[in-house]
Structure formats: structure tokens, C-alpha cells
Chains A and B, each alone.
Chain A
Amino acid sequence: DAGITQSPRHKVTETGTPVTLRCHQTENHRYMYWYRQDPGHGLRLIHYSYGVKDTDKGEVSDGYSVSRSKTEDFLLTLESATSSQTSVYFCAIRGVNDGYTFGSGTRLTVV
């Protein structure tokens, strides 16, 4: 999607290992979000950021941390991955018209 990229697109990792997912935007938007999508649950908010070094928790933040040292980058870290964190992760930015633009997602498998 234009203006927002996620990396990696796919990742398989072992239980207990740290994992960092990256979201990069070229739109200079203030708000950035990390969601996870699981069957039967829709999208659930993990963390969001409202500026450089300004972040807050969402409804499913346990086991995740985030960092935003630059406007364009928002990192999601799983400190010690568990099988319950197997999911598809989406990053989003909030546009000037309040609609969100989503990245293409990262499919994470924890084995």
C-alpha cells in the first residue's frame, strides 16, 4: 500500500526467541498503530503511537513492546515469542481525513 510498508512479510520463529517487526511510513503522519488479526477475533489493537517516543497500550498489549524513535518508523517487539502470538500483524497510519491506511501485513508463525 502506498506510503506504508511492513517487514518482513513472513517469518517463522521458535518459541522463546525475540522478534521485531518493522513498519515504515513515508506520509509523515503522527498516529501509527499495530494490530493483530486472528480468526474469529477480527483486528485487535496491540499498541499505538501518537508521536516520536509517545506510545500507549491497546487491548492485547501483554507480551509486546513498541518503540518509535523517528516519525517514519514504528517497531513492534515480541520479547519472547509464544505460540499464542502466531498471527497476522498489521501496521496502520491515521490519515488527515481520519481514515486509516494499512500495510500489507506480516504473517508470523511461532513454532
Chain B
Amino acid sequence: SQQGEEDPQALSIQEGENATMNCSYKTSINNLQWYRQNSGRGLVHLILIRSNEREKHSGRLRVTLDTSKKSSSLLITASRAADTASYFCATETGANNLFFGTGTRLTVIP
């Protein structure tokens, strides 16, 4: 069973706009992570937020976590064509492994 679910499934924006993706999960977590996957490639770790944190920043990325609502959001500011990819949230519970959602497909139009 999947722990995380991303919303929307697909998102298309113009270059320079901001992109927001949401993730909901079902059970208590130790941390939540976001990954990017370019077509035909492996996943790349973007950012990790722990259950006792509410917000983290990394460059143009901003992640929030609301454990009371069991949800997270990933904001990419000033998007670029190179940001076109699939984005996955993944949750880690107490078992030292990650459960992934089905991803959001982001298209940034130049």
C-alpha cells in the first residue's frame, strides 16, 4: 500500500512561475522526503524534512510539513525548463525504508 499521494498528478506552468505540489500520507512518520526524476533516469534526492520540523528551504525549493493534517507541500519558485520532471514524495516510518507516492509530472514551458 502506498503511504504518500501527490496532488496534482500533472502540472503545466510557464517558465518563471512558481510550482506547488502537495503530498498526503496516512500514518505517523519519522521524516518526509522529496525526489525528482527526469525521464528515463534514477531519482534524485531534493530535500528531507523531519517530523518535528515545519518548513525547510533549499535554494529555490521550499517544503512545508503539517503533521496534524498528514500533508506536505513542495514549492519550486521561479521555475525553469530544466525543472521539467516527475516529483515524488516519500515517507519514512520506523522501519528504515521509504514509501513513495505515484508522483506529480511537472512541465515547465519555456
Give A residues with C-beta under 8 Å from B: 1, 31, 33, 35, 40-45, 48, 50, 58-59, 90, 92, 94, 97-105
Contact = CB atoms under 8 A, between A and B. Distances in A.
A48 B92 contact: no
B45 A42 contact: no
Nearest to B50: A98
B48 A42 contact: no
Interface residues of B, number: 22
9 shortest interchain CB distances as A-B pairs? A102-B42, A99-B45, A43-B100, A42-B102, A42-B100, A102-B43, A104-B42, A99-B48, A48-B97
Nearest to A90: B42
A45 B48 contact: no
A50 B97 CA distance: 10
Given A33-B97, A50-B96, 4 more contacts: A35-B100, A43-B100, A100-B35, A104-B41
With a 10 A CB-CB cut-off, give which of B44, B92, B97, B101 has the most chain A CB atoms: B97
Given A94-B96, A99-B48, A100-B98, A42 B103 contact: yes
Contacts of B44: 1, 102
B97 A58 contact: yes
A71 to B, nearest CB: 16
Interface in B1-50: 1-2, 31, 33, 35, 41-45, 48
Contacts of A40: 102
18 contacts: A1-B42, A35-B100, A41-B2, A42-B2, A42-B101, A43-B43, A43-B100, A48-B96, A50-B96, A59-B1, A90-B43, A92-B43, A94-B96, A98-B31, A100-B90, A100-B98, A102-B44, A105-B41
